[in-house]
Structure 1
Amino acid sequence: MPTTPTEKSSPPVPFFDQSQSFKELWPLLDRHIDDVFDRGKFSHGRKVAELERAIAEYTGARHAVAVNSGTDALVILLRAAGIGPGDEVIVPTFTFFASASAVSMTGATPVFADITADGDYGMDAASAEAAISERTRAIMPVHLFSQPADMAALTALAERRGLTVLEDSAEGIGMRWDGTHAGLLGAGGVLSFFPTKTLGALGDAGMILTDDPKIAEQAGVLRHHGRMGKTIDHIAGISNLSGISGTNSKMDDVQAAVLMAKLSRLDQDIARRRELAEAYTERLTGADGVTAVPRLVAREVPVDPVFYVYLIEVERRDELVAHLAARGIGTETYYPRPLHLQPVYADRPGHRPGAFPHAEAACERTLALPLYPDLDEAGVDTVCSAISDFYAGRQ
């Protein structure tokens, strides 16, 4: 089939690209990586410690514990907070699978709640309260896409019912609730540094944030095979052991070097993401087929949004995805199936279609568009024009 003039004149727009940023950042990145090689310590070394201090300073956390992925950060945080077999943790059913699987990996059971109807895609406090049982130990809200969940309602619920709040703030770098950084509104939270995140490494990396020294100490032990302190016999590998079973979740120093370099321009990148989000919103508000664009949900306290993802709700979502792909425009579907209908959890009582209507509706309508600092306004125009063409029938 011949291409249309629009297709010929519009270059591809990948869902994520950071090639230009890396060209600009390379001199600083090179210095950080040289520092790692000069020291000769490539895992759990001084560059990792440097990053922990920098992230603690940026977020205001008393403790930042580096690990090798956002998923491990969740598992270790849960375990450090005392979550284990026989416990239940309430999580939203509209989130990435790791939010639930991390709970399962501790031996505890994830119990699902719906999201709000107000457009923040966060856990609904009333639905969470209805899910509480005598085995419930914690609630774990997830801060998705651009703003924190309703932490006033969720922390009030936790206090009223005697539960711990642990935050899946993997997407939350830079997000703040009344001045407090995401991940520090409860007992602790996590950050993911997956490459596409607002602050991304060149592979997997993660961080645990907490103001609780006991949780921080336990997390530090759990990430390193249960070791406390330094190895006392380097030949035999005998260590000071804590008496608990840990894992190997140390962060690589090369990843820490990348993150240290990119941290220097994080606020600049956040501002650029906001500019691009505003450009999208200007072009897509009221557009045919687009039923919702991101908006900051009004709260009683000031909230600092960060556009990790620009998420819209649309009609005929899957057809639109195919149309955009044919024009070289990358998208992501967050999330095509809610957690309570995932095969590993679908056989539980009450896990049926219609059980969590707001989450299920979001799974059918939401679509993430390209959004990253290297994107320019011409790319935004290309994406929006392609969406307009689709709903106008111009294939």
Structure 2
Amino acid sequence: MHQPNEEGFYGRFGGAFIPEMLIPNIEELESKYLNIISSESFQKEYHRLLNDYAGRPSPLFKAERLSSKYGANIWLKREDLNHTGSHKLNNTIGQILLAKEMGRQRIIAETGAGQHGVATATVCALMGLQCVVYMGETDMERQAPNVARMRMLGAEVRPALSGNRTLKDATNEALRDWIANPTDTFYLIGSVVGPHPYPDMVARLQSVISSEIKQQLKEKIGTELPDYVVACVGGGSNAAGSFYHFLDNPSVKLIGTEAAGLGVDSGETAASIACGDLGIIHGSMTYLMQSEDGQITEPYSISAGLDYPGIGPLHAWLKDCGRADYLPVTDDQALDAVMELTRLEGIIPALESAHALAALVMLPLKSSDNVVVTVSGRGDKDMKTYMERFSL
């Protein structure tokens, strides 16, 4: 029900709106990706690397003090404990194996918070492939530790200097690179965005998250199905992976949280579902923040990983068909959630993950409810922001 059709559309969202130069690349990828990633050899190597290199399965942790505060059973899916510190490695391991199978030797990527860039640089080092990561100059300044990690891993980090110099602009530069180098380059997209088949491919590779949640809940409480699954949404890859195996179980409430910045009515926001209209961005039809004449509105969020003016087409569809709800979370609400988790459970989350944690206070929870919140990344990269905001 929630898979894209042959043209890559989820309902009216998705598709592949791309320059002519990229059509051969996209057609080749579309014709090969399902056969490759479903093959026995791919799955064997993919899961070997997930287990032995990434450190999966990631734990499902019962947060007792958080549960006591909210009067429900709060479970944390600890993607922050993966190698490289976020869920991003699930996808880059899969795509690097695909790129090698397709004979590509040069890898490009975009990154906002830097976690996808680090994960891409990591697998390129592992496989001995050239790596170029595009990152907005603004994000390079506020995520300097991740820039250093990418460079240490051998990647070239190229600044995006247009727009507000964040994730949107880095994606623009990566697409320009791919257009200029279509034959030897594989674009390793970090989220469920971009032209088909990327949204479907990334969702499939991240679906290991929800697959593990089901198995872990069955072992811990005797049922595979929680009452809620909550995850933050920028482009939406960790949320897509967290929701994937629950999409056809309507008893499971799916909650995405998007970055409201200074508020949905402030003009300084990245809440594209709350504030967006139908439009095309980076090859996909989706909800997009734009002006009356169709120009993209510059997004804002304290979180570099959620600072994107659109949303993955799967999430736009889930919103439209009523399968998932999406809640706007402000900078201040996210910062409150950072300190709450840190002080109650001894876990310092990434700013992105804090947007998911902030939803707990918004939900009508009962004592019997089992709520899974995906902690998509760890807070090391955001310590500069935390030091400033909390006067540490």
TM-score by length of 2: 0.35
Greater percentage in helix? 2
Larger Rg: 1
TM-score by length of 1: 0.35
